[in-house]
Chains A and B, each alone.
Chain A
């Protein structure tokens, strides 16, 4: 049997993967789109709230509507779609990559010249943040609670405490309230909320759901089902302060304590990873440090808005379609310590014709700040911000054309206060 060949294989059909496969197909590539679930759309399928697509479509769409905008374009393309299909192995070989797939039909192998990792992210769990006590039922990550509520139409709680003020937690606070559950409060160990400001207003304030900062859940109680949680104040290092414990009766603890890019496939083929983003190190074309392997969306770094995820997917798909094996040389992007991260981490200096899109997050909340980018001490870009918040990702485009960037160039991102 002949092994099927593809130009570009996209792994994951969330917003990043959909955009990547469409843009690769637009470039004329022969594309395979692989999805492990039964339906396309990734996590968007369960995000029935609105607010998607403001930047991209100038409209407020729900998650499924947003995904549909991409899915309905697929039949007009030659993209091969494989759902309920799981990648078990990727091997590099002379003419590209051999990908092993498992599905209802058995095991198959395909060969692809390049591939795009668009595997999204997963949620941090209660154990990863050290929630202790009984191992009862009723502890959910916000995404799992969202799946029960929105996809299965089943109530995971009647009265809950939400730990963590990430966006999904805020959205679930509103969602569960609308379904009639009582959300006792959102507890955040950090001194400030982790979610977008618009979600703080629209999901908590509009529904009179209290937000408690510098407090965390230290223990859960319950024999079968969760029956109560203990919350404590935390100090500036987020360590619980003894004596401040308070017991709250509830039947569920819902966690929104961070997202982690899913990069087990990336790690299995030895892609160098960025400790800060937890995603692969890439150049401005979304190509990882391994030729022919691209990464986009939340698998690359956790985005705040889906519009950016699609943009990232589009760029990666386009680059993957245009990919020709050739030697790359890099200049490394350096940052001062005021950033959570800057993506991409590398500039491929042979391909600096077009402006480069960077995404970054500030480590701390800042007001009146200036971003300065220098190359070998020369200022090549600057932008002033009235406010920077870690939950909000920033995007800048910088043109390096005629900057004479070499592998020895020191390109540095810095944030400084302005008067």
Chain B
């Protein structure tokens, strides 16, 4: 029996004839209608066959539910009409921004289209900032290939871009005593997988991470795990790309494409029609939509929501590295995969994430059950985690394919297209490697020469609170604004906030400032500094306070003068 026939038989039994599979142009399509999203995802996961098909496209409809379409910028203009960049990168996440920067190593005109008002607004700004050693990756996966290379590139990239980064290492902890002899030999497995690993007895673990649960029987230490600020790195990539000449178009959404004979002729945005020679699809959860527009639809994204919790720096003593545990809860109890406790590069504890399948690609709402599940689970590892130390939480949505692997390839049916799609964890780690590879592919395609003028160095925004006293003093004497503390919790000065708005990537929102210099990231969550930051933005951008926004459109903070607005 052929794979399709066998699969159809299985789908028939599982879903009572409501779902069927069919091959189209070497891709496996599954179609039909089901009433539960979980079932649709499950049907996709059991249908995947990487050996036989280019990819799996899941077109099963969710009955009675209109999947929310991509949210679009609320305005349209013609500023981009007729522009013809050599490369149009769709998506201003870490993948799009790193690709744009690497493309500038060649003599290539680059335009980035990002539909949000800032870069790193989706998954790149909503993850745990972990640079993965590659513990759970397998040979043959693109994830594995790019994670391994990316991990080794991180120090160099972060040094060039002026982004704080540290290899802190990760402990993978095990709870059961009987498993110890087995775990003691696993470093050999990881060695074969090219992942440096070291067995750590309970006693040694207790010395190195003294606040973990006494129930932990042993651990494996992975020294190549690191921490970085993922949106900070994305912004740095975007700034460096822009200072090397890439054109970053924010508030710019791709609406449609004109495709003829396997070639994209033009790309329609809300700001006009653009005529690129080559399109790079780095659109995250929307990469499937872009593939469809480009007549190159051979994969599907099943979005997976994850919530992370940020704890006060006061709680940071509990974990100095990255710690995660296996075997803490009953597998049947739900999502056991992933999640851990990360001592972030900024000195907080980050706890999470969870993993929940969802069809809402842009619903970043947080839910109490997520917080509860995460804290209950992670308390098995670090029993001192106290919910009273929670200062905030956030949700991101991962762009997973059914193959659960990255898609890094030229279009299968469309020639002038490169996909950097299906990038979920470990996307941050892999980004430098993916970007370098894709830039090379693009340069070959376009026959572009090297750009001798490329400057890989980005000067970061000064951070006086982290400077030696003399250096900080000298900086303040140059510009007194660096001596006026605006955000008391994170000790951020007015000078830093002003500088955040004077960079090559525009920033004019309270959240934009927050993500660049951490004003409002502390325990008072902007209670004191929020109005001050808003005033600095109004002053710097010469707009009235009521025009200052939190992040996107309509996120105004005040309505206008007292009495006059009612």
Contact = CB atoms under 8 A, between A and B. Distances in A.
Interface of A: 36, 84, 86, 88, 100, 102-107, 122-123, 125-128, 130, 132-138, 141, 143-144, 147-149, 151-158, 179-181, 218-219, 223-225, 251, 264, 267
A102 B483 CA distance: 6
A155 B473 contact: no
A122 B561 contact: no
B527 A123 contact: yes
Interface in B362-382: 364-368, 371
A123 B524 contact: yes
Given A84-B484, A103-B483, A154-B562, 10 more contacts: A88-B465, A102-B464, A102-B472, A103-B484, A106-B476, A107-B469, A128-B388, A141-B527, A148-B558, A152-B531
A132 B365 contact: yes
A351 B553 CA distance: 62
Given A130-B368, A144-B530, A147-B531, A104 B524 contact: no
B314 A137 contact: no
A179 B393 contact: no
Q: Which of A149, A225, A264 has the most CB of B within 10 A?
A: A225
Contacts of B531: 144, 147-148, 151-152
Contact of A154 (B365, B476, B550, B560): B560
B159 interface: no
B562 A179 contact: yes
A36 B365 contact: no
B552 A127 contact: no
B506 interface: no
B405 to A, nearest CB: 31
Contacts of A264: 489
A155 B566 contact: yes
Counting chain B residues whose Cβ lies within 8 A of the other chain, the interface size class is 35 or more
Interface string B398-419: 0000000000000000000000
Interface in B425-446: none
Interface in B518-566: 523-528, 530-531, 535, 545-546, 549-566
The 4 closest A-B pairs by CB, nearest first: A224-B554, A180-B566, A137-B550, A224-B555
B563 A179 contact: yes
Contacts of A86: 485, 488, 491
Interface in B488-506: 488-489, 491
B480 interface: yes
Given A122-B528, A133-B365, A179-B566, A155 B560 contact: yes
Contact of A104 (B314, B484, B489, B554): B484
Contacts of B314: 267
B213 interface: no
Given A36-B485, A105-B476, A132-B365, A127 B391 contact: yes
Contacts of A251: 559
Nearest to B544: A154
A147 B530 CA distance: 10
B566 A137 contact: no
B364 A135 contact: yes
A225 B483 contact: no
A137 B476 contact: no
Given A152-B531, A154-B558, A127 B550 contact: no
B563 to A, nearest CB: 6
B394 A135 contact: yes
Contacts of A179: 562-563, 566
B191 interface: no
Contacts of A225: 554-556
B477 interface: yes
26 contacts: A86-B485, A88-B491, A102-B485, A105-B480, A105-B483, A106-B476, A107-B469, A125-B524, A127-B390, A127-B391, A127-B525, A132-B371, A134-B364, A137-B551, A137-B556, A152-B558, A154-B545, A154-B559, A155-B559, A155-B566, A156-B557, A179-B562, A180-B563, A219-B365, A223-B554, A224-B551
Given A104-B483, A224-B555, A149 B562 contact: yes
Contact of B393 (A127, A136, A218, A219): A127
Interface string B290-311: 0000000000000000000000
Contacts of B388: 128
Interface string B318-331: 00000000000000
A53 to B, nearest CB: 25
A130 B550 CA distance: 20
B336 interface: no
Nearest to B554: A224
A157 B559 contact: yes
B477 to A, nearest CB: 5
